[in-house]
């Protein structure tokens, strides 16, 4: 098919947004004449992040299904119906040759409308346990790009390509930047350093575990770069007051430098975080978010642990185990974890996905 206009839908978290932007950038590198339009969910991260990346985005009023506070789903059918109507209008106005869905709230109505209008669409699934939206739309997709083996249990086998997850290109530039990173974070380049990342919103359990163990980390001579999320920033900064070996911030924009400084990463097990850790060959302790849909973060973590590429600490075990396991790991040889995580990386994922879509 001849492709000139591409519409990309999805979002809700950085785990959906960054792969979507990476795919668009890769497609643009192959064919600079392509026109792009993103469709996201109103009020979510993508409405800020996508324009910053240089792409136009339109928001839909769609929301996610509440699995705990079920009564909140009373308005879901109305928001879905309105989002379907708006999606059809967006598609008729923009006239894309192809649609790409990366999961998340907005992906569902947009791809469903594309299906009704006969517009071919592709799916990219970041997690090892497929999301409800992607599973529902898989049967009519042109192709499905996945990051983990064994996804035939969710999708038609003949439509699957094991491509890996697209990640931010700037992260690849982290190699050899330790001195620069140390200067940026006001830390010592010669001292072992733990990077704590809880996703774009922070991770309360991890944050509380780190706060409780700050003194132990300092006494062990370990530095920390601690991304707290906005809600926990002031609490964390107060706890770290006077500790020169701790850098605390709500959000770290210079992630290439943060990874360059990291000897060990403590993170949730979202798809993007796991892919970044593997791409850079970092040793990690993964703490899956237990409330993630279908517990997909635990599945993501297990896929690394089974390859001896990461250490798993469950959310309920953080208080008792996180600091002890972090100190044990960083004070020993982590080269096996680093080597195995790097072995799982797929650095050309965005380009391979872009090529497949453009030459379908």
* CA-based nearest residue to 315, from 278, 285, 283: 285
Q: Helix 335-343 and helix 271-279: axis angle, to 10°?
A: 110
Structure tokens at 130: 């497929």
Backbone angles phi, psi at 236, to 5 degrees: -65, -40
d(CA 47, CA 44): 6
Instruction: Using alpha carbons only, give the angle 16, 20, 25 rounded to the nearest 5 degrees.
Output: 150
> Binding site: which residues?
13-15, 127, 168, 200, 252, 297
> Binding site for UDP-N-acetyl-alpha-D-glucosamine: which residues?
13-15, 127, 168, 200, 252, 297
* CA-based nearest residue to 41, from 97, 109, 100: 109
CB atoms within 10 A of CB 110: 34
Q: How far is CA 136 from CA 123, 139, 296, 338, 345, in A?
A: 11, 7, 17, 36, 28
* CA-based nearest residue to 271, from 7, 17, 48: 17
Query: How many helices (H) and strands (E) would you count in the chain?
Result: 14, 13
Question: Are 349 and 164 within 8 A, CB to CB?
Answer: yes
Going by the DSSP 8-state scheme, the letter that residue 66 receives in this structure is: P
Q: Compute, in degrees rounded to 10, the torsion defined by CA atoms 173, 174, 175, 179.
A: 130
CB atoms within 10 A of CB 98: 21
3-state secondary structure of 128: coil
3-state secondary structure of 171: helix
Which residues, 6+ apart, have CB-to-CB distance to 26 below 8 Å?
166, 350, 351, 353, 354
Structure tokens at 47: 């409405």
Structure tokens at 108: 């569902």
């Amino acid at each position: 098919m001849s492709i000139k206009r591409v519409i990309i839908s999805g979002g809700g978290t950085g785990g959906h947004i960054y792969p979507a932007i990476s795919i668009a950038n890769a497609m643009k590198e192959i064919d600079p004449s392509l026109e792009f339009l993103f469709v996201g969910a109103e009020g979510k991260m993508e409405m800020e992040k996508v324009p910053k990346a240089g792409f136009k985005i339109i928001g839909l009023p769609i929301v996610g299904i509440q699995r705990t506070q079920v009564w909140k789903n009373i308005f879901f059918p109305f928001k879905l119906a309105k989002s379907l109507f708006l999606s059809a209008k967006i598609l008729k106005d923009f006239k894309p040759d192809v649609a790409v869905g990366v999961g998340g709230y907005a992906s569902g109505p947009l791809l469903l409308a594309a299906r009704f209008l006969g517009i071919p669409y592709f799916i990219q699934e970041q997690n090892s346990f497929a999301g409800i939206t992607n599973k529902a739309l898989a049967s009519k997709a042109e192709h499905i790009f996945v990051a983990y083996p064994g996804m035939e249990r969710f999708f038609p086998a003949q439509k699957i390509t094991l491509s890996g997850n697209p990640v931010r290109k700037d992260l690849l530039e982290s190699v050899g930047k330790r001195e620069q990173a140390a200067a940026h974070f006001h830390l010592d380049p010669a001292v072992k350093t733990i990077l704590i990342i809880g996703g774009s919103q922070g991770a309360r359990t991890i944050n509380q575990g780190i706060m409780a163990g700050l003194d132990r980390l300092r006494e062990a001579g370990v530095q920390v770069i601690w991304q707290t999320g906005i809600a926990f920033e002031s609490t964390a900064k107060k706890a770290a007051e006077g500790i020169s070996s701790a850098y605390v911030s709500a959000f770290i924009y210079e992630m290439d430098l943060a990874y360059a400084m990291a000897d060990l990463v403590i993170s949730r097990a979202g798809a993007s975080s796991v892919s970044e850790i593997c791409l850079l060959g970092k040793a990690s302790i993964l703490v899956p978010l237990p409330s993630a849909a279908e517990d997909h973060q635990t599945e993501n973590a297990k896929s690394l642990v089974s390859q001896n590429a990461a250490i798993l600490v469950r959310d309920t075990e953080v208080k008792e185990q996180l600091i002890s396991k972090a100190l044990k790991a960083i004070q020993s040889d982590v080269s096996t974890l680093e080597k195995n995580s790097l072995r799982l990386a797929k650095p050309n994922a965005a380009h391979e996905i872009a090529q497949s879509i453009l030459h379908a």
